[in-house]
Structure 1
Amino acid sequence: MKYEKPDFKLRTSYYQELWSLDDNVVFLNHGSYGACPKAVLRMQQSLRSQLEQDPVNFFGRQWEPLLDNARSKLAAFINADVQDLVFVPNATTGVNSVLRSLTFSPDDEILTTNHEYNACRNALNFIASRTGARVVVAKIPFPLESPEQIIAAVLEKVSAKTRLALLDHITSQTGVIFPMQQLVKELQARGVETLIDGAHAPGMISLNMQEIGATYYSGNCHKWLSAPKGAAFLYVQRDKQPEIHPLTISHGANSPRTDKSRFQLEFDWTGTDDPTGYMCVPEAIAFMSSLLPGGWLELMQRNHQLVLQARQLLCKELEVQPPCPEEMIGSMAVVPIPVSLENCSHVWLHDELFDQFGIQVQVVPWQESPGMLIRISAQIYNTLEQYQYLATALKNLYR
């Protein structure tokens, strides 16, 4: 028997009307793929229409100024020098571009953590299998009590052979914000370059590339920035740019132009694709900033406070403890699954929540106790009542 769903109209935020989200779904998983507002999608459609009206003119005359404008607006948003940025389809592509460009030997170690995103860990394994380099994993405990535990666990695994550290800025599995500025500083002091997977960071927390100081940083614009899918960036320190190349080598590799760096010439054009996602990044930044009087800072704080309230509500209802301090999460948080549901698969639980209750939420398998985590996201279109409904659904499943 299906649980009787409440009246969704009573629980839908006004802001949800600005998105194309299904009114019959309680969407608590903005973190996985983001969700693009209607206004930004309209701009993308307009750009696509321009492209198809005369593709030769668009790519020959309009494409580069539009791309440069988007790069300039993004650079200002994340406090980076515009010369240090290129667009890539997603953060995983950015990470792969760096790893595939660098040269490793059997004497090298590449450091990561047990919280690393699976796709990027696979990229590390691929590089290690090709080069003989060794992947070293720093085991960060979870639940966590403080950021210092992360720093200590990472630094403990640094050796004289450590060449590069690949770290999540905000972990996908556990929603934890790593103390990135401190980590980068400590690793640099030990002669270790840093490649940061910042997939969730842009738009969730304030970003300052110059303060973070990472050697390489890749972040998505389609998640919390709410740009169209297929929009992300790769930041590379100026002195390292000659070493880094896109996964697809194209015309930029031997372009005679001298008005741009080889780094940007190569990444900007890797063959014919749809560049309109990149070109909509300024619209996404402006649109999301317009939603609240305090702009982006107020939006980030509002989402942070909502996810804290939601986590507290769920932990109380499910009789579990919060797995990390409040200051270590942004707009995503995880809640341990009650013991009575630990023997269920994460796929089963996700599908039951969606099929029976109309709830779209991430269920994360975890390698240690607790064996599964519910990861909730908080975007401006979410309401506290939606998380209460999630708690009710979970309690119905494990009765």
Structure 2
Amino acid sequence: MSAPFRSHWGLDPEVRFLNHGSYGACPTVVLQKQAELRARLESEPVRFLHREIEPLLDEARAALADFVGADTEDVSFVPNATGGVTTVLRSLRFEPGDELLTTDHEYNASRNALDFVSEAWGAKVVVAKLPWPVSSPDAVVDAVLAHVTPRTRLLLVDHVSSQTALVMPLARLVSEMRARGIETLVDGAHGPGMVPLALRSLGAGYYTGNCHKWLCSPKGVAFLYVRRDLQSGVTPLAVSHGRNSPRTDRSRHRLLFDWTGTHDPTAALCVPEALRVMGGMLPGGWPALMAHNRDKALAARAMLCERLKVAPACPEEMVGSMAVVTLPPGYPERPEPPLYLDPLHLRLFDEHRIEVPIIPWPKPPHRHVRVSAQLYNTPDEYVALADALEVLLR
């Protein structure tokens, strides 16, 4: 199981790892950079965290902001996209009867945060059911707009859905919402590094995305973008010294988010290195990398659909570096606690050494397999998955 790029990662050579989308995988050279930063931190923690951290964070944030097409001042580091979604939702104020709109493809953790906040304010969560299979981006936009009312205050939407790997028509959704005076909170957990981002022109009020997935940074770093005119209304989950700091050389937003208590900042500080390393893997840089991964995901989807005799669930324009394939009926055992993983998922790993998620959608017994495509993956790995599925689904 060799691939020209696999040596850049420390992945188990005995496992066909087709699940980059869940937690990403960090190149070893980036992890070495993190180890150096941690050694530097531990050699003199006070100097590092009191006197050196701000310019280091500024440098890392500037590199990330440039990559996602945002002003540096509008981007803050957070531990993960779930934390970014929760930060915005816990900061906003609602009235009883207000409607918070989302879709039935929304990630469970983010949906839980939306439910929690709506219950606290007496607001109502409205769920737009998207057509599945989906025929076009227009069908998604139409389904969402059909649920907008005069009481709608916010749209929470995935950029790329976790369960179904759909690349949503984000620019159109944001534009339609703003035309109606409604802000959009984008759960962009999979967005950065999978699809190009231009947050200034997008116009969304809030966008949060992970760096550990498709940017391949160390685990524990994501970002939260808040449009400048909305920043005074957003506070980090942990309020620390920035709230009453007398400093005037930095914005209050910056003071609040740059120090939320003692933590290991090295994952965030490695983001420029991850951008450099991954952007240098192919001659065309990041655009070539994203196109390469997308082409690989589309090819894998086409082959799996042919082998399993099923139709694609969405048009090619809604596919990024992940793709789902509907599974035909077979092997019907239900997931069991404590992990609640589909038995098919476990048998693929235990018997065939393939790591890939099996996703019940829209609800059991309907299931999909979701494949990811990263540089280290090879076509033979997807063929091995097709072979294993043909055997296990009999």
TM-score per shorter chain, which class? over 0.9
User: How many angstroms apart in 1 are the aligned matches of 2:166 and 2:280?
Assistant: 27
Please name the residue that 1:69 is paired with: 59
Is the Cα contact below 8 Å between 2:329 and 2:393 reproduced in 1? no
Choose which of 336, 347, 352 in structure 2 pairs with 1:352. 347
Please name the residue that 1:295 is paired with: 285
Shift of 1:356: 0.6
Flag the 1:157–1:342 CA change in 2: closer, same or farther, 3 A.
farther
Please name the residue that 1:4 is paired with: none
Is the Cα contact below 8 Å between 1:165 and 1:192 reproduced in 2? yes
| Secondary structure, counterpart of 1:335 in structure 2 | strand
| Aligned amino acid, residue 311 of structure 2 | Q
Choose which of 259, 262, 278 in structure 2 pairs with 1:272. 262
The C-alpha deviation readout for 1:143-164, integer Å capped at 9, x for no partner, is 1110001000000000000000
Please name the residue that 1:55 is paired with: 45
| Aligned amino acid, residue 356 of structure 1 | E
Please name the residue that 2:391 is paired with: 396
User: How many angstroms apart in 2 are the aligned matches of 1:224 and 1:397?
Assistant: 30
The C-alpha deviation readout for 1:45-104, integer Å capped at 9, x for no partner, is 000000000000111222111111000000110110111110000011010000000011
Flag the 1:314–1:359 CA change in 2: closer, same or farther, 3 A.
same
Shift of 1:267: 0.9
**TM-score under structure 1 length normalisation:** 0.96
Please name the residue that 1:5 is paired with: none
| Secondary structure, counterpart of 1:170 in structure 2 | coil
User: How many angstroms apart in 2 are the aligned matches of 1:330 and 1:224?
Assistant: 11
Alignment of 1:138-177 (within 5 A): 138-177=128-167
| Aligned amino acid, residue 151 of structure 2 | K
Alignment of 1:94-109 (within 5 A): 94-109=84-99
User: How many angstroms apart in 2 are the aligned matches of 1:34 and 1:392?
Assistant: 25
User: How many angstroms apart in 2 are the aligned matches of 1:296 and 1:374?
Assistant: 27
Shift of 1:353: 0.5
User: How many angstroms apart in 1 are the aligned matches of 2:208 and 2:263?
Assistant: 20
1:336 is the counterpart of 2:326: yes
Shift of 1:44: 0.3
Please name the residue that 1:190 is paired with: 180
1:377 is the counterpart of 2:372: yes
Sequence identity percentage: 55
User: How many angstroms apart in 1 are the aligned matches of 2:224 and 2:82?
Assistant: 10
RMSD: 1.1
Runs of 5+ unmatched residues, structure 1:
1-7
User: How many angstroms apart in 2 are the aligned matches of 1:311 and 1:280?
Assistant: 33
The C-alpha deviation readout for 1:240-292, integer Å capped at 9, x for no partner, is 10110000111111111111111111111110000000000000000001100
| Secondary structure, counterpart of 2:5 in structure 1 | helix
User: How many angstroms apart in 1 are the aligned matches of 2:31 and 2:132?
Assistant: 38
Choose which of 211, 215, 221 in structure 2 pairs with 1:225. 215
User: How many angstroms apart in 2 are the aligned matches of 1:124 and 1:231?
Assistant: 22
Runs of 5+ unmatched residues, structure 2:
336-340
User: How many angstroms apart in 2 are the aligned matches of 1:203 and 1:241?
Assistant: 25
Farther off after superposition, 64-73 or 344-353:
344-353
Choose which of 99, 104, 109 in structure 2 pairs with 1:114. 104
Query: How many residues end up aligned between the 2 structures?
Result: 389
**TM-score under structure 2 length normalisation:** 0.97
Is the Cα contact below 8 Å between 1:13 and 1:381 reproduced in 2? yes
Is the Cα contact below 8 Å between 1:337 and 1:370 reproduced in 2? no
Please name the residue that 1:17 is paired with: 7
